[in-house]
Amino acid sequence: MTQIQDGMVSKKLRTAGIFIILSLLVQAFSLVWNHPLAFVAFLFLGGLLLFIGLGMYVWSLLFPVPQPAASSSKSDAQD
C-alpha cells in the first residue's frame, strides 16, 4: 500500500516540478523578449505557473493520499 501512496505523491511532485520548470522557461523567455508585453508575461504568466507549482508541491506534502482500509477485509475473510 505504501508503494501506491508513494507513487501518487511522486506523481503530484513531478507535476508540480513541471509547472515550476514551465514558469522558469516563460520568465527566461520574457527576459530575452524586448517588448512591453514581456513584463506582463514575466509577472502574470510566469508568476501564475510558479504559484500553481509551489501550491501543488506544498499541498502534496501537507495532505498525502490516504491509504485504503484493507485490514478490515482481511479480518472479514478470517471469520
pLDDT value at 77 more than 60: no
Percentage of the chain exceeding pLDDT 90: 44
Instruction: Specify the pLDDT at position 28.
Output: 93
Instruction: Specify the pLDDT at position 4.
Output: 61
Instruction: Specify the pLDDT at position 69.
Output: 59
Mean of all residue pLDDT scores within the chain: 82
Q: Which band of pLDDT confidence, cut at 50, 70 and 90, is reported for residue 27?
A: very high
Across the range 5-20, mean pLDDT stands at 85
SS3 for the chain is CHHHHHHHHHHHHHHHHHHHHHHHHHHHHHHHCCCCHHHHHHHHHHHHHHHHHHHHHHHHHHCCCCCCCCHHHHHHHHC
Q: Which residues, 6 or more positions from 30, have their beta carbon under 8 angstroms from its beta carbon?
A: 38, 39, 41, 42, 45, 46
